[in-house]
Chains A and B, each alone.
Chain A
Amino acid sequence: MDTKLNVLTHVMVPDHTIMSEEEVRTLLSHYNITTEQLPNIFHDDPAVKAIDAKVDDVIRIVRISHTAGRAESYRLVIKRPKK
């Protein structure tokens, strides 16, 4: 194998993109929430590593939905808690 596995190309992995601060602000004000209320994703998640996101970044996930065709979802990057 010449290149490392790119998880983002896998069919089960939807698109992950880091959101800019501006986008995060509009998202939070639109739903009237804080970042803590978003679902989480760990900093060492393979998809997070692939897009090189840092802790406290918000990631936009564009899923291919069974019902809507295309659905957006958001996750906050957090540190994996120690066992």
Chain B
Amino acid sequence: MLPEKFGKKIAAAGLPEKTKDQLRSFLEGKEITDAQFKQILDRVIREYQSTRIEACEAVGVIAAQSIGEPGTQMTMRTFHYAGVAEINVTLGLPRLIEIMDARKEPSTPTMTIYLEQDYANDRDRAREVSWKIEAAPLHEFGDITTDMEQMQVVVHINTKVCEKRKISPMEIMEKSPKNIRDRRHYRDFEHEIDEENSRVAFTPKDRESYQNLFQLAEHVRNVIVQGIDDIERVVVRKETGEYILYTEGSNLKDVFEVAGVDTTRTRTNNISEAASVLGIEAARNAIIYEALSTLGEQGILIDVRHIMLVADMMCMDGEVKQIGRHGIAGEKESVLSRAAFEVTVNHLLDAAVANEVDELSGVTENVIVGQPIQLGTGDVKLIAVKPEN
């Protein structure tokens, strides 16, 4: 056991928590004298101080280079079936660009849904949750026939399928006309429910043309009666001793409302969705996680610090901003700095119209006008104190 006096000194030292923990576990059970301990602690502190980034260091440029150079090694275009789950995910450079551009919707949104204790170890219960999430159109629940003579679309619900999917035939029969009206915005029809034979008949309002009938039949076939609209597919997989659901399509808000879903671990790869449902800090974490795993999958090792800096910049103002002219680069204070990055003429013209003034406080603008830049030693002004007498 670490002596208490050492423990207190470590806790009070100006070191990061992780370093303190490492120091504690290193010293655990070792016989050391006070003098030795002092020497070790001083050395650690000195070492830590020397690894800290110096004031006026251009961290942004270092981050840009550190991500940019290995980025050239990335696969230009990859559509991968990540892991064994047969879910299609965009990876490589296209995905990295997507993250940095802060797209509202990624090209392949997916979710990783964790389940609560009772559900996570039981295959059947995990499957039950997946039925509630996966969007299922009406044609999966029975036979749909178009009766040209009677001018109607008849649906015979298959009760066995309903039983398997844990949904009552009545629920489907009530939901289907309602969802055609509300979700698909098609209202020119009437319906009739025959509960005994679990049969629904849809009739178009205008019975003059067959076109209406076929249009209606198409809506009836494809109306979503069970699950969440945006989630096209769910794959149940057992990983590290528990069942996890992987989805194609993402809707964090609705999935959180499904019983059995673990709302503390379930995540999405749609960053703007994470920002709106869980907040800006969650979005920051999502950017770091997504960027790291995209790069890691390609076998590229980039220090987290660079990615953290990018994520911090993107989330500075309370919302996720892209790296580019519609985000961080476009909102810089200086006119010259903005003009140096894409659409030069527009920026100069707008600045002239608005009578903008450039303070020349940044790096780019000072390079343009040919002054020393305020970075590193360039940021230090010499101050002489005149001796009094």
Contacts and interface: CB of A to CB of B under 8 A. Distances in A.
A40 B305 contact: no
A18 to B, nearest CB: 14
Contacts of B315: 39
A12 B308 contact: no
Interface string B256-268: 1101000111010
A66 B279 CA distance: 20
A82 interface: no
B278 A69 contact: no
Interface in A12-49: 12-14, 16, 39-42, 45-48
Contact of A12 (B21, B256, B257, B267): B267
Contact of A46 (B21, B279, B286): B279
A67 B318 contact: no
Nearest to A9: B264
B333 interface: no
Q: How large is the interface on A (under 10, 10 to 19, 20 to 34, 35 or more residues)?
A: 20 to 34
Contact of A13 (B17, B21, B259, B279): B279
Contacts of B308: 65-67
Contacts of A41: 279-281, 318
Nearest to A61: B281
Interface in B317-345: 317-319
Contacts of B317: 39-40
Nearest to A7: B278
Interface in A33-83: 39-42, 45-48, 61, 63, 65-71, 75, 78, 80
A9 to B, nearest CB: 5
B357 interface: no
Contacts of A9: 263-264
Contacts, number: 96
Nearest to B308: A66
B282 A7 contact: yes
A11 B263 CA distance: 9
Interface residues of B, number: 34
A10 B264 contact: yes
A68 B18 contact: yes
Contacts of A7: 277-279, 282
B329 to A, nearest CB: 18
B16 interface: yes
A48 to B, nearest CB: 7
A10 B18 contact: no
B45 interface: no
B129 interface: no
A66 B289 CA distance: 11
Given A12-B267, A69-B17, A78 B318 contact: yes
Contact of A47 (B264, B278, B289): B278
Interface string B10-30: 000000111111000000000
A69 B21 contact: yes
B288 to A, nearest CB: 8
A11 B264 contact: yes
B172 interface: no
A51 B281 CA distance: 14
Contacts of B267: 11-12
A47 B265 contact: no
Given A5-B263, A12-B274, A12-B286, A47 B304 contact: no
Contacts of A71: 16
Given A65-B16, A67-B18, 7 more contacts: A5-B257, A13-B285, A39-B317, A46-B278, A47-B282, A61-B281, A70-B16
4 interchain residue pairs of minimum CB distance: A69-B18, A69-B17, A68-B16, A47-B279
Interface of B: 16-21, 256-257, 259, 263-265, 267, 274, 276-282, 285-286, 288-289, 304-305, 308, 312, 315-319
Interface of A: 1, 5-7, 9-14, 16, 39-42, 45-48, 61, 63, 65-71, 75, 78, 80
